[in-house]
Amino acid sequence: MGDMIAGDKAANPGDDEKVFADILKSVGDCLQIHSQAGSSAPVSLDSVLSYLSSEWGPAVLNDRWINWHFHDKDGAEKRLRLEVTENDEGIAGRELHYYAVDREGLPVPVELENFQTHNPSDDSINSILKESDVFYKEKAGSGVFTNGAHMDYMEKNGALAEFEIDTTERIFRCSSLKAPKESCRCVH
């Protein structure tokens, strides 16, 4: 096991950028990246990609899934999940799942009538969401850098929430950017 990074999540936005710059420095120390991280960095996927691609080359990113939590026009809580799939021939596809929410807050599958759930268009998905109040969105994705390193990440409401970078020799994992001191680690 590796060491924890120094620093706690700060209260001020400027402090958040300093803490995130410290996280990027810890990524560099762990994964033996020679590029220097700045003294501040926006807490974003772009900051991580920019820092890593300066030494590893660009990354090809792919969505894995997206969840939308929303209230429909009648005020009922619903969820929509778009999953990126791959068949046996390696051809990517998309599957759309629709859920109501029960009293305990658990999703209950609902069939989408007269709607294409296999490889739906963005326009079709937007038609469900356009008259809704989306109050929470999660997105998970992955990327592969030119040098073969792999990255998984999750964004919540458009903000980077967690990431993991795997070089096969070492892994840097940050399971919560809300508490980096407790959740960001280098694994050898």
pLDDT value for 13: 53
Answer yes or no: is pLDDT of 10 > 50.
no
Looking at every residue in the chain, the average pLDDT score rounds to: 89
CA dist., res. 90 & res. 70, Å (int)? 32
CA distance 135 to 95: 22
What pLDDT does residue 6 have? 39
Quote the tokens at residue 168. Answer: 């096969």
Phi, psi of 55 (to 5 degrees): -115, -30
Residue 35 has what pLDDT? 83
pLDDT tens, 108-139?
999 987 788 999 999 999 999 998 999 999 99
60-119 tens-digit pLDDT: 999 999 999 999 999 999 999 999 998 888 888 999 999 999 999 999 999 987 788 999
DSSP state of 132: S
Confidence of residue 12 (pLDDT cuts 50, 70, 90): low
Q: What is the b/e burial string over 41-70, where b = at least 16 CB atoms within 10 angstroms of the residue's CB?
A: bebebebbbebbbeebeebeeeeebbbbbb
pLDDT tens per residue, range 156-174: 999 999 999 999 999 999 9
CA 13 to chain centre: 20
Please report the pLDDT score of residue 66 as a whole number: 97
Quote the tokens at residue 54: 């300066």
Q: Is the pLDDT of residue 46 over 70?
A: yes
pLDDT of residue 100: 96
pTM: 0.83
First to last CA, the chain: 6
Q: Rounded to whole angstroms, how far apart are CA atoms 5 and 159?
A: 21
CB atoms within 10 A of CB 114: 4
Which tens digits make up the pLDDT trace of 14-37? Answer: 788 889 999 999 999 999 998 887
Rg (CA), the chain: 19
Which letter does DSSP use for residue 47 in this model? H
Bridge pairing between strands 133-145 and 107-110 = unpaired
